Structure 1
Amino acid sequence: MLPTKKIRIFASLEEAAKAVPAGTLRKLRIGETLLCLAHTPQGFMAMADTCPHQQASLSGGVLDVRLQVVCPFHHYRYSLHTGEEASRRTAPVQTYVVESSEEGVFVHLPQKK
């Protein structure tokens, strides 16, 4: 497993909830990395923003009740837990650990060598 770097994306849960209301998706850029951040009933979750099928921005899609991001182009569904496409029609999407604490909301990104 690659080492990760913990990066603060919001100063508080309140700030995060205001920027990404419950049940919605938002694109975030951290350096060269584009993330699709989802505000789910389980909290904030993240995956890579680019669909491996035809490179659509997943944050332009919708979040379904199974905690899947539905691609806006061809409705492929990617699990926020595993990154797998529901019907295994494409490669999985990279998922990222999101952590919330009193210090803010953080995402763990792989460190570059």
Structure 2
Amino acid sequence: MADLPPTQQHKIFDSVTAAEQALPLGKPQKLWVSGQKEAICLVRTRKGIFAVSDVCPHLGESLSKGTTNYLNEVVCPWHSYRFSLFNGQECDNRTSYLKTFLVEIQPDGIYLTL
């Protein structure tokens, strides 16, 4: 059995208020994490803060250039593929899932686990 890499937890905001100020509701934002090759698409909706891979698995466009909808999906700006922010599944199963990342609100800030 292969060894799994250690979990990396990164503090991305000092508080919920800081997150709300930096992340407009429903507007995806690109986040680069030190030491990572790919960017993260960070989104705040009424259901919480979500993090998914920023690269659309269909043709590689940046999802942070897209939009979100009332179903808590991020919508790719190129071909309107829609991905669940909860599990990364494309709504019509036309392409592979997005990688999702855990976002946790803790007393001392908001953390992203890679």
The aligned length equals 109
Amino acid of the residue matched to residue 41 of structure 1? Answer: R
Match of 2:27 in 1: 24
Q: CA shift at 1:80, angstroms?
A: 0.6
Aligned partner of 1:66 among 71, 85, 100: 71
Unaligned runs of 5+ in 1: none
Residue 80 of structure 1 pairs with residue 85 of structure 2: yes
Structure 1, residues 12-61: CA drift from partner, whole Å, max 9, x if none?
11111111022221000002231100101111011000001111000110
Q: How does 1:33-112 map to 2 (within 5 A)?
A: 33-109=38-114
TM-score normalised to the size of structure 1? 0.90
Higher share of residues assigned strand: 1
Amino acid paired to 1:26: Q
Q: What is the RMSD computed on CA atoms of the aligned residues?
A: 1.3
Deviation at 1:4, TM superposition (A): 2.0
Determine what percentage of the aligned residue pairs are the same residue.
39
What is the TM-score of this pair, normalised by structure 2?
0.89
CA-to-partner distance for each residue in 1:35-94, whole Å, 9 max, x for gaps?
Answer: 100101111011000001111000110011101000000000001111110011111110
